[in-house]
Structures are given as C-alpha cells and as structure tokens.
Chains A and B, each alone.
Chain A
Amino acid sequence: MIAVLGLLLGVGAGLLLDISVPLGLQPYLPIAIVAALDALFGAANAALMGVFDDRVFVVSFVSNVLVAGLIVYLGDQLGVGSQLSTGVVVVLGIRIFSNAAAIRRRLLRA
C-alpha cells in the first residue's frame, strides 16, 4: 500500500514539476525505469509468495538500476550503445513478463 502511495506521489511530483531530463541522463533513464519496473514486479511476486523483504527490495531495485545504467554506459563507450540498450530492454522485458505470469498464476490460479 505504501508502495502505491509512493508511486502516486512520484507521478504527482513529476506532473507538477516541469522538469526535463538532463542531457547526460537521457540514454540511461529509460533503461533505468525498465530495470526498476523489473524490480517492482519481482517484489510484487515475492510479496504474493510471502517472501517479501524490505531490504532485498531496496537493494535489488538500486542494483538493477545501477547495472542497467552501467551496461548502457559500457555500450556507449564501445560504440554499441543502442544495440546493448535494446538487449537490456529485451532481457528486462522477459523478466517482467515471467514475473507478471507468476503473479497472475498466484492471483487468478490460471
């Protein structure tokens, strides 16, 4: 519940404060968001399985975002930034899908 509240708070702040993404962060932010979504879905799945832990969530969230950003940064340095970020998005997307499938199975038993 507190997570939903925090999410709404962030969305509200983003809507109210008219902030554009800093130039240096522009390649990383979309990947970071997808990584964070992956952590969020994993946490939701863990909560439904009854193994949710605050510390694990925070650490996985932060590390997910950092690793995703690092991979994109590395790709940019190697000159394959766009390909690598596509790859990261694909991998994270697959993880999000499998988590969502697990959540669906648990909630709807289907």
Chain B
Amino acid sequence: MIVETKAVELYYGKKQVLRDICFAALEKKVTALIGPSGCGKSSFLRCLNRMNDRIPGFRMNGEIKVNGINPYAKGTDLLKLRREVGMLFQKPNPFASTIYENIALAPRLHYGLKGEKLDEVIEDSLRKAALWHEVKDEYRKKSALELSGGQQQRLCLARMLAVQPQILLMDEPCSALDPIASAKVEELIVELARDYTVLIVTHNLQQAHRVSDVTAFFMLGELIELGPTNPMFEGPDQKMTQDYLQGRFG
C-alpha cells in the first residue's frame, strides 16, 4: 500500500476532527474521498503531506505511512516528503511570476536544473497538464496571473508534476472552476492515474464516480466505508453511505 494509516485521530484544540481512521490507497489508482462538508476528508488529506501543522491547536495520534515515510515521525525530511507527494488546492494558487517561472522554481531549487534540461521539464509538465498548446507561444513572458481559472489550475498541476512526485493529493481541485474547465481537469486526473497515485477530495459525487477506482466515504470524522468505486455506487454496504449517495443528506 502506497498510503496507509492506522487509528488516526486528529484534533483542532479540543475539537476532535478525525477518529480511528484506518485507510489505505493503492498505487497508481485514483482514490476519491467523499462525504458531507466538515466530515474531515480535507483534514485527512492534508495530514498526508503535513499541511495541517500551522493550524492552532493541531494534534495527531496514530500511524501514517506515505510512500514509506511517516510524516509525523521525529526527524522526517518534510522537504523530501513534499517532493514525493504533490498537492493541488481548491483554489488555483499561481505565483506572481511568469508561467515558466511558476514551474521552474521548484525543479531549480530541488534538483539544480537549468538551461535546456529545465526547459525540457517545463515543456513536459505543461504537456502533461494539457496546457502546452494554449501557452506555448508566450509561456516565458506571460504572467501566470493572466491565465483563466481553469488554466491556472492546470498550471498548478504542471508545477506539481515538474517536481516528479509519485503521489498527487487533490483537495477539491475543480470546485472553483466552471463546468468546462472542470471537465478538462477531470480528464487529466484519469490520464495521470496511469503514472501516479491520486487521492482526490471531492464534493461532486458524479466526479468521484467518473474518475476514481476506489472510494472512501467519510462522515462526522469517521471513515464509514472504503472500497471499489463502482460496486459502492451501485450498492454500498453501509446504510449511511447509501443515504449520502442518494442525496438524502449532504
């Protein structure tokens, strides 16, 4: 299992956000994390590359293994963890520089890439993110902030891929995008699953159904059900999952 957790409990101050999460994700598959707002799915995702650290009162118990690394062990190399585990956020977050510089920053700092080698990585990443054809004439000069929302999100995807990660965490990557832009990103996710392990948090059940191989249903801080997507959407084991999938609450 490329991602595995045992008995994970998470607190923000006195509030318990996750209880006893035992979860696993398969390599080179898409796992969708679904559940109503506030169920803890995003908090869980952000444990895997330790993006929760700065929230006041954050505490975590339990065991996590991500690509063989325990993110919360003493002395864990967080920079290495985050090189291997990329993250795409809810709202596109391009940096205030050119498209080229957005992508070049991390490979340059991590691997000392420059010149042609760096150019190659950037073109390759833009191609993988299906952005190359839209920006190939101007990506060295154009500011990333001038791109449309959907393009910005694909740029963030390219930026993440340029670091050569193995696991991609996506925290509702389409929620700020219009349906067309969202469909493009969705297509990409399916394609990326050939080479990467993808964990995606989504509010959109159809999206979860379309893109994922495995689905994890979270509710009130607990992992209610985890299993192959199609069987779960056709007939979940748990009553609660069924109610959620049929839109009885959410």
The reply to whether chain A is a binding partner of chain B is: no
